[in-house]
């Protein structure tokens, strides 16, 4: 069995396909012969040129789902296509809030398992094979499905590099959403955009993160200040997110964002596997921690054994003096 | 208002994980504890039931060997009772198999609200709650960082890439909570003593009317092919701060042309 058709769940923000969508299209193109997008939203025609330029020949859409959430209707529409005989060999979904809803519901609806936290995909002996970083990224496990498809994979951000193919606009095909019963009863009343100065965490060239070693919530201001001075984004370890110092959106790691910046600065972060799996893809890592046995030093290009409360203020002052 | 909370009992995350060499799956043969991620859901459920002026919080869990350690912790926090599905046939279950078991168990109590964590700390698949909702034909709102219940509906702040959405959903519904949504209480001594006599109903796959081939390793329909060492990242230079470490950092930043 080879891989012929692959569907990519295409997410968009304000009429523009997301970075992870383009990453998945690149992955799909390297694995299968036909790549199609499956999407939703008020204006799929506006997405079609970009989706096409990244290799999708067709874009199925369920249309505008608002004020509902996409999980139930998109999964049901996908399942209906599959059950009607239009089935792909693989479905690729990004590890996003909506992506996981769609993947979970599709899996249950089709009674097909799902493999998640995928960091690479290959086809081995004709079988789609997913790669997973385990034990904080020290080992790579490979897995595959043993039953009938479609094979549903949920892929972590930054696992593939987007690439244009120069293809024409994808052909937009509107598909039916079957009756959803109560599953689609949630309604979005209002969307709130939280203004964050500087680049987005998962797109920033520089990420400065803080952890428990900062001691108390107020000290996170130093992390934000350093991030600002380096034109980067502030991030956080799970420990201080759980403790309520900063919102979940700041979290870097297994349960948070995956980042691959040019530079990652870890301040007062010991390097739990949970954290490392989300940042060890950074090109360069600086770690500041008072415990010289901290695992983070095992992967840092520059490790500073010292007190963040002393090193950070001096570093911030020195950077301010230069600007 | 009756609330069901999905809780997972996991190996202590502080202990290094280990794979079973024959199946390449995570070993779960030690003592299991309440997943920290679930303590937020338990606390949220207790507060919501309390605010609604009554109702019960029921824990729903699937674990090997009749394990109740984690359930007792959540009962000590204040949950009224628990349903534990424990059966040798469930060994090797994947997220969908687990969801089938949890959904079947939840059906028995017909709760107004189902609460789960966004993902477990050990497996972190992150799809089980959506699978449970789909199997129950229930609406779901995932990644909640604020929850209120009023007039037969749940109102949630749902995390988004850009900020958050205010979402309203009529009950019954399933909600997943992010860490930090509430401050989980520590069980009191009184709570711990009371938990010892709270009811835990232990069920088998057959009690739930599930086909054994649909769950466990057979139902998972997936296999681990291999485990290899990842490309090692080498440790670089380590300096001890003598009051001048910031200068070394500045030099490194210049070298990277970040500044």
Higher pLDDT, A14 or A127: A127
User: Are B256 and A206 spatial neighbours (Cβ–Cβ below 8 Å)?
Assistant: no
Domain count along chain B = 1
Chain A touched by B206 (CB under 8 Å): no
Instruction: Among B159, B225, B240, select the one facing A305 at the smallest CB separation.
Output: B240
Is the pLDDT reported for residue B49 higher than 90? yes
Is the pLDDT reported for residue B60 higher than 70? yes
Q: Which CATH number fits domain A206-322: 3.40.50.1220, 2.60.120.10, 3.40.50.20, 3.40.50.150?
A: 3.40.50.1220
For A274, which residue in chain B has the nearest alpha carbon?
Answer: B121
Is the pLDDT reported for residue B248 higher than 90? yes
Tell me, which fold does domain A5-174 have in CATH?
Rossmann fold (3.40.50)
Instruction: Among A146, A185, A206, select the one facing B170 at the smallest CB separation.
Output: A185
pLDDT mean across residues, chain A: 94
Chain A touched by B39 (CB under 8 Å): no
User: Are B45 and B30 spatial neighbours (Cβ–Cβ below 8 Å)?
Assistant: no
For A270-286, what is the mean pLDDT? 92
SS3 A204: coil
List CB contacts (< 8 A) between A118 and chain B.
Answer: none
pLDDT of residue A136: 73
User: Are B126 and B132 spatial neighbours (Cβ–Cβ below 8 Å)?
Assistant: no
Residue B187 lies in a domain: yes
Task: Kindly report the nearest CA distance between residue B92 and chain A, in angstroms.
Answer: 13
Give CA–CA dist B117/A236, Å, rounded.
20
pLDDT of residue B122: 85
User: Are B146 and B175 spatial neighbours (Cβ–Cβ below 8 Å)?
Assistant: no
pLDDT of residue A247: 84
Proportion of chain B above pLDDT 90, given as a percent: 82
What secondary structure letter does DSSP report for B19? B
Task: Kindly report the nearest CA distance between residue A260 and chain B, in angstroms.
Answer: 14
Instruction: Among B142, B233, B246, select the one facing A299 at the smallest CB separation.
Output: B233
What confidence tens digit (pLDDT) does each residue in B169-213 have? 999 999 999 987 888 999 999 999 999 999 999 999 999 999 999
H-run or E-run covering A142: strand A139-145
Task: Kindly report the nearest CA distance between residue A201 and chain B, in angstroms.
Answer: 10
- List the domain boundaries for chain A: 5-174, 206-322
Task: Kindly report the nearest CA distance between residue B45 and chain A, in angstroms.
Answer: 18
List CB contacts (< 8 A) between A238 and chain B.
Answer: 179
Phi and psi angles of residue B176, each rounded to the nearest 5 degrees, phi first? -110, 140
List CB contacts (< 8 A) between B233 and chain A.
Answer: 280, 298-299
Residue B254 lies in a domain: no
Is the pLDDT reported for residue A128 higher than 80? yes
Task: Kindly report the nearest CA distance between residue B140 and chain A, in angstroms.
Answer: 7
Q: Residue B124 and residue A194: Cβ atoms within 8 Å? A: no
For B22-50, what is the mean pLDDT? 90
What confidence tens digit (pLDDT) does each residue in B115-160 have? 999 999 888 899 999 999 999 999 999 999 999 999 999 999 999 8
Chain A touched by B21 (CB under 8 Å): no
Task: Kindly report the nearest CA distance between residue B197 and chain A, in angstroms.
Answer: 31
**Interhelix angle B36-51/B69-77, nearest 10 degrees:** 30
Is the pLDDT reported for residue B76 higher than 90? yes
Q: Residue A255 and residue B179: Cβ atoms within 8 Å? A: yes
Q: Residue B134 and residue A140: Cβ atoms within 8 Å? A: no
Residue B146 lies in a domain: yes
Q: Residue B247 and residue A193: Cβ atoms within 8 Å? A: no
Task: Kindly report the nearest CA distance between residue A105 and chain B, in angstroms.
Answer: 5
Which of A1-5, A200-204, B237-241 reaches the highest mean pLDDT?
B237-241
Q: Residue A141 and residue B221: Cβ atoms within 8 Å? A: no
Q: Residue B165 and residue A191: Cβ atoms within 8 Å? A: yes
For A71-92, what is the mean pLDDT? 98
pLDDT of residue A1: 53
Look at the alpha carbons of B190, B193, B47, B13 in this order and tell me if their dihedral is positive or negative: positive
List CB contacts (< 8 A) between B148 and chain A.
Answer: none
What CATH number has the domain bearing residue B61? 3.40.50.620
Write out the residue range of the structural domain in which residue B16 sits.
3-220
Ordered DSSP codes for A245-306: SS-GGGBBSTTSB----SEEEEES----HHHHTTTTT-SEEEEEES-TT-GGGGT-SEEEES
pLDDT of residue B199: 98
List CB contacts (< 8 A) between B147 and chain A.
Answer: none
pLDDT of residue A168: 96
Is the pLDDT reported for residue A194 higher than 90? no
Is the pLDDT reported for residue A88 higher than 60? yes
pLDDT of residue A129: 97
For A193-201, what is the mean pLDDT? 81
List CB contacts (< 8 A) between A297 and chain B.
Answer: 235, 238
Residue B7 lies in a domain: yes
Chain A touched by B151 (CB under 8 Å): no
Instruction: Among B137, B140, B246, select the one facing A315 at the smallest CB separation.
Output: B246
pLDDT mean across residues, chain B: 94
């Amino acid at each position: 069995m080879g891989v012929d058709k692959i569907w990519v769940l295409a997410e968009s923000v304000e009429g523009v396909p997301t970075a992870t969508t383009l990453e998945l299209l690149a992955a799909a193109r390297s694995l299968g012969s036909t790549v199609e997008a499956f999407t939703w939203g008020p204006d799929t025609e506006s997405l079609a040129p970009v989706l096409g330029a990244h290799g999708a020949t067709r874009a199925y859409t369920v249309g505008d789902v608002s004020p509902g959430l996409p999980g139930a209707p998109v999964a049901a529409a996908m399942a209906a296509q599959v059950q009607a005989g239009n089935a792909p060999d693989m479905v690729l979904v990004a590890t996003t809030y909506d992506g996981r809803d769609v993947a979970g519901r599709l899996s249950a609806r089709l009674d097909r398992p799902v493999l998640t936290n995928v960091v690479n995909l290959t086809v081995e002996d004709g079988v789609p094979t997913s790669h997973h970083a385990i034990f904080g990224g020290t080992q790579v496990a490979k897995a595959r499905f043993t039953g009938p498809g479609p094979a549903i994979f949920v892929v972590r951000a930054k696992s593939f590099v987007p690439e244009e193919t120069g293809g024409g606009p994808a052909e937009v095909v509107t598909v039916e959403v079957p009756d959803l019963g109560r599953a689609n009863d949630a309604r979005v009343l209002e969307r709130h955009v939280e203004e964050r100065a500087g680049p987005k965490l998962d797109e920033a060239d520089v990420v400065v993160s803080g952890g428990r070693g900062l001691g108390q919530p107020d000290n996170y201001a130093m992390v934000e200040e350093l991030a600002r001075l380096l034109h980067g984004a502030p991030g956080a370890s799970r420990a201080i997110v759980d403790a309520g110092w900063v919102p979940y959106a700041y979290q870097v790691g297994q349960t948070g964002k995956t980042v691959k910046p040019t530079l990652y600065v870890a301040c007062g972060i010991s390097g739990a596997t949970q954290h490392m799996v989300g940042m060890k893809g950074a090109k360069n890592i600086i770690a500041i921690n008072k415990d010289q046995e901290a695992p983070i030093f095992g992967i840092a290009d520059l490790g500073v054994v010292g007190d963040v409360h002393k090193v950070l203020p001096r570093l911030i002052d020195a950077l301010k003096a230069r600007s | 208002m009756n609330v069901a909370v999905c809780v997972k009992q996991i190996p202590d995350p502080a202990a290094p994980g280990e794979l079973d060499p024959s199946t390449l799956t995570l070993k779960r043969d030690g003592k299991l504890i309440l997943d920290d991620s679930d303590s937020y859901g338990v606390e949220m459920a207790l507060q919501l039931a309390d605010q609604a002026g009554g109702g019960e919080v029921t824990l729903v869990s699937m674990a090997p060997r009749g394990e109740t350690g984690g359930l007792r912790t959540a009962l000590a926090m204040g949950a009224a009772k628990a349903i534990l599905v424990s059966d040798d046939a469930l060994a090797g279950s994947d997220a969908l198999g687990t969801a089938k078991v949890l959904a079947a168990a939840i059906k028995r109590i017909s709760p107004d609200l189902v609460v789960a964590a966004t993902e477990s700390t050990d497996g972190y698949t992150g799809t089980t709650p959506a699978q449970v909702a789909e199997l129950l034909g229930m609406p779901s709102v995932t990644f909640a960082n604020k929850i209120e219940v009023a007039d037969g509906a749940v109102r949630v702040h749902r995390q988004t890439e850009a900020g958050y959405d205010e979402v309203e959903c009529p009950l019954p519904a399933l909600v997943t909570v992010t860490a930090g949504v509430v401050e989980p209480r520590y069980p009191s001594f009184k709570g711990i003593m009371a938990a010892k006599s709270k009811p835990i109903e232990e069920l088998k796959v057959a009690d739930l009317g599930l086909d054994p081939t649909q769950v466990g390793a057979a139902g998972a329909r997936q296999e681990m092919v291999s485990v290899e060492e990842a490309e090692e990242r080498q440790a670089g230079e380590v300096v001890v701060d003598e009051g001048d470490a910031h200068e070394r950092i500045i030099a490194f930043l210049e070298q990277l042309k970040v500044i």
